[in-house]
Amino acid sequence: MITRRGSMLAHLEEHDLIETGVGENDSGVMLASSELVVHRAIYQNSWALAVCHCHPPYAVALSLVQDEIIPVDSEGSYMLHRVPVLGAEHTIGSTEVAEILSEALKEYKIVMLRGHGCFAIGHMLEEAYQWCSTLEAAATIICHLRALGGDVKDYRKGADRFTNW
Amino acid sequence: MSLWIERWRRLIWGAEALWGAGVAHTTVSLGEGGRSVACIGPAGERKVLLAAIMNDGTRALARGGVGAAMGAKRLKAIVVSEEGKSSIAEPERFDFYRYESEKLLKASPLTAHGLPEFGTAALVNVLNAAGALPTRNYQQCSFEGAEAISGEALKERFVIGKRGCWGCPIACTRRTEVDGVRGEGPEYETIWALGADCGIDDLKAIVHANYLCNELGIDTISMGATIACAMELTERGLLPQGPRFGDAGMLLPLVEATALRRGLGDELAEGSARLSKRYGAPECSMQVKGLEMPAYDPRAMQAQGLAYATSNRGACHLRANMMGSTLLGLPKLVDRLNGSGQAGLLIELQNLNAALDSLVLCKFGHWALAEEHYSRLVSAVTGRRYEEAELLQIGERIWTLERLINLGRGFSKKDDTLPDRMLHDAAPCGPAEGKVVELEPMLAEYYRFRGWSKDGIPTERKLSELGLREYGRQLLPC
């Protein structure tokens, strides 16, 4: 199941959900999201039972200046630890993206595609969406911290280790 | 005889003097000097089909009659004696992952409060409120005496402390004392099997019976479920002078008689499937593939029915327990009265649990930790990088190999089923009132998601994917 190409994601209705093959094409591909090839690769190569992809603005902004996003807020630290940022020349619906993302999602539950958005996996859609939401909250806080300036009072033991996650 | 493993050398040692001894005496005798002992009690020696292997006194390898298998080989015990510490390939990285995992265990109310404070007995009230506490041999879905045998009641009346397995921060084991006798437990499954399933609300009697099962080496789930089966046979007038629902006074005598194969106990020792067939009412046995169902009524948790039906060793909650997603909201709450679409969740859990069993890791950790924690911890210990997907594929390989062995021994789709009561007798009360288990559509979905045929046979393509083609050739019937 994947969203219809061009559907308004904040206002999905029943006809915006398209069913098509996870390994083989059928007529459903005519209507499916342009990210179909990426979603398929993720399902085939990881343990994902659900995939959530969105374009969180703060996380996208950070992906343009960093190679990883390491949350500093509590929930982001507990739940995500480290979110890799991956780059690709063709960032929408390309086999290049399908390969690098599906590979990364074997080991992480959410990754960023530089300049584009996040891809998260979960046991169900609500869980995958939670990772996207947690990431954007974490990214928002990081951006605000930079605007505030000054030294961050890190409260976490071994915070420098998160880059090893 | 006993099998000694010392510095990785195996020695066969005569243990004739211990044949006939209870678990406690055997464990103390052989465990001198800090050795670890896995032994059988009198039940296993007599090849009671409900017999367990008891590890270090009170940890039971209970299900499936493994104690009887040891007894058939006249193997009384396995003793392991090792010195020194295990090595960890990347200790600093391991320490980081361990610290992060412990943070989550401490943050979860289940693993930080519920289990440490009440033990697994905390589930009695939870399952009862959900209308999923099987009562009187699965004839009802909730028990009027649940409060009296709840985790709260156990804590108030009999708990004197708690204990954990080595290194565990949860410490779910209850240390208990009753009438001056000290022991461990009972766990939720035991309280249910010897309590609600038998219509018994006498917690003291249940605690005593639990101690006796540990001492004699018996699976408490199968013991209670078989007694409950006998109770229903009595109720129907088929078993003359048999035990009756609610009669707590017969618990201890029946447990002892079963372990020693005396009188009716000799019949109970064969398990509920053979017992009920003997008395002409096979529908009274709540079992799948010969193994008695545990403490979750699948009419109120539909996907749990699928878990029981597809478990390779018979009805088992340890192979996969859908309570997490259907009752506890882990990772998110799903509709427990409609199992459609949950086969994928079940399969992932079965695969993960197979991997965790292989790693000898407690499943309670999964109530706080995710697959990523396990893969990272294993990578740091071994020095070999394991991805989450790979860990799950290892579990899938284990599961599929077990399936091939079962198929080779004559099991088939017809055995992936549930007792008639679950399929045809609607839940009489509670949130699931009127529901039966809608197994067929869930099973079809399960086979498809497993990559098996419509008859539940792993396909060539799936076997190739898992590197099990050769096993398929050897094990699958032509």
pLDDT in tens, B448-457: 999 999 999 9
DSSP H or E segment with residue B182: strand B181-184
Closest alpha carbon to A160 in B96, B434, B81? B96
Q: Of B223, B225, B194, which Cα lies nearest the Cα of B207?
A: B194
Signed CA dihedral, A118, A123, A125, A131: sign only: negative
Q: How far is CA B397 from the centre of its chain?
A: 21
Give the torsion through C-alpha atoms of B191, B357, B57, B114, to 10 deg.
Answer: -40
pLDDT of residue B9: 62
DSSP assignment of B81-101 equals E--S----SSHHHHHHHHHHH
- Token pair for residue B369? 């930790």
Kindly report the CATH class assigned to A34-150: alpha beta
Report the alpha-carbon distance of residue A65 to residue A61 in Å, rounded: 7
**Residue B111 DSSP class:** I
Burial class (CB in 10 A: 0-12, 13-18, 19+), B293: buried
Average of pLDDT values for B228-236?
98
B35, β-bridge pairs = none
Q: Please give the radius of gyration of chain B, using alpha carbons only, rounded to the nearest integer.
A: 22
Domain ranges of chain B: 2-81, 120-285, 302-475
Interface of A with B in 8-37 (CB under 8 A): none
Cα–Cα distance for residue pair A38/A92, rounded to 1 Å: 9
The answer, yes or no, to whether residue B10 has pLDDT greater than 70, is no
**Is the predicted pLDDT of residue B4 greater than 80, yes or no?**
no
Position B8 scores a pLDDT of 59
The alpha carbon of residue B8 and the mean position of all alpha carbons in its chain are separated, in whole angstroms, by 29
Is pLDDT of B15 > 80? no
Q: Within an 8 Å CB–CB cutoff, is residue A163 touching chain B? A: no
- Is the minimum CB–CB distance between A123 and chain B shorter than 8 Å? yes
Per the listing, tokens 């949950």 go with B342
Cα B143–chain centre separation: 21
Residue type, B161: G
A123 vs B contacts (CB less than 8 Å): 325, 331-332, 345, 348
pLDDT band at B3 (very low <50, low <70, confident <90, very high): confident
Cα angle for residues B272, B224, B46 (degrees, 5° grid): 65
- Stretch B278-299: mean pLDDT, rounded? 98
DSSP string, B356-424: HHHHT--GGGGGT--HHHHHHHHHHHHSS---HHHHHHHHHHHHHHHHHHHHHTT--GGGS---HHHHH
Distance CA B60, CA A6 (A): 57
Best of B388, B390, B394, B397 to disrupt the A interface (most A CBs within 10 Å) is: B388
- Measured in residues, chain B has a length of 478
> Contact A107/B372, CB-based, under 8 Å?
yes
Q: Which residues contact A104 (CB under 8 A, 6 or more apart)?
A: A84, A86, A111
Greatest alpha-carbon pair distance for chain A in Å reads 56
- Tell me which residues of chain A, numbers 41 to 70, contact chain B at a CB-CB cutoff of 8 Å: 45-47, 49
Largest CA-CA distance found in chain B, in angstroms, rounded? 66
pLDDT (tens digit, 9 = 90+) per residue, B59-114?
999 999 999 999 999 999 999 887 777 899 999 999 999 999 999 999 999 999 99
Residue B207 confidence (pLDDT) = 98
Q: What is the pLDDT of residues B16-62, one digit of tens each?
A: 889 999 999 999 999 988 889 999 999 999 999 999 999 999 999 99
Residue B40 dihedral angles phi and psi, to the nearest 5°: -110, 160
B345 inside 8 A of chain A by CB? yes
Give me the residue spans of the domains in chain A. Answer: 34-150
- Give the separation between CA B14 and CA B54, rounded to whole angstroms: 19
pLDDT at B12 over 90: no
Q: Output B369 or B5, whichever has higher pLDDT.
A: B369
User: How far apart are alpha carbons B85 and B234 in whole angstroms?
Assistant: 55
Q: CB of B335 within 8 Å of any CB in chain A?
A: no
Is pLDDT at A118 greater than 80 in this prediction?
yes
Q: Do B387 and A161 touch (CB under 8 A)?
A: no
Q: b/e per residue, B38-57, with b = 16+ CB within 10 A?
A: bbbbbbbbbbbbbbbbbbeb
* Rg of chain A, C-alpha, whole Å: 16
Residue with tokens 């194969």: B261
- CA atoms within a 13 Å half-sphere pointing along the CA-CB vector of A47: 28
Q: Which two tokens stand for residue A89?
A: 């020349």
Confidence of residue B6 (pLDDT cuts 50, 70, 90): low
Is A47 within 8 Å of B331 when comparing Cβ atoms? no
DSSP H/E element including B79: strand B77-81
In the CATH scheme, what is the code of domain B302-475?
Answer: 1.10.599.10
Which helix (H) or strand (E) segment holds residue B116: the answer is helix B115-118
C-alpha count within 13 angstroms, C-beta hemisphere, residue B31: 15
Using DSSP, state whether A122 is helix, strand or coil.
strand
B322 touches chain A (CB under 8 A): no
In B, minimum Cα distance to A47 occurs at: B389
The answer to whether residue B348 neighbours chain A at the CB level (below 8 Å) is yes
pLDDT value of residue B83: 75
Bin B358: left if φ > 0, else alpha if -120 < ψ < 50, else beta.
alpha
Task: Provide the 10 A C-beta neighbour count for residue B69.
Answer: 15
Q: Is B181 on the interface with A (CB under 8 A)?
A: no
Give the pLDDT band of residue A27 (cuts 50, 70, 90): confident
**CATH superfamily label, B2-81:** Aldehyde ferredoxin oxidoreductase, N-terminal domain (3.60.9.10)
Beta-sheet pairing, B287-288 with B291-292: antiparallel
Please, how many CA atoms are within 13 Å of residue A154, restricted to the half-sphere of its CB? 12
Domain B120-285 carries which CATH code? 1.10.569.10
Question: Which bin fits B438, alpha (ψ -120 to 50), beta or left (φ > 0)?
Answer: beta
pLDDT, chain A, mean? 92
Task: Report the predicted TM-score, pTM, of the whole model to 2 decimal places.
Answer: 0.94
Chain A residues with CB under 8 Å of B345 CB are 49, 123-124
Beta bridge pairs of residue A4? A32
Q: Do the beta carbons of residue B239 and residue B230 sit within 8 Å? A: yes
Output the pLDDT for position B241.
92
Would you state the pLDDT for residue B24?
Answer: 96
Say which residues have a Cβ less than 8 Å from residue B392's Cβ, sequence separation at least 6.
Answer: A47, B348, B351, B352, B355, B371
What element of type H or E holds B157? helix B151-157
Report whether B184 contacts B128 (CB < 8 A): no
Of B407, B404, B356, B345, the C-alpha closest to B378 is B356
Measure Cα distances from A145 to A140, A156, A162 in Å.
9, 16, 18
Q: Identify whether B419 is preceded by a cis peptide bond (ω within 30 of 0).
A: no
Mean pLDDT, residues B217-230 taken together: 98
Across the range B220-248, mean pLDDT stands at 97
- Tell me which residue in A46, A49, A123 faces B389 most closely, judged by beta carbons: A46
CA dihedral (A86, A87, A88, A90) positive or negative: positive
B298 token code pair: 């699948």
Q: At what angle do helices B302-310 and B439-450 cross, to 10 degrees?
A: 60
Residue B435: pLDDT band (50, 70, 90) is very high
CA triple B156-B162-B166, angle to 5 deg? 165
User: What are the phi and psi torsion angles at B428 (to 5°)?
Assistant: -80, -10
Decide if pLDDT at A23 tops 90.
no
pLDDT at A157: 84
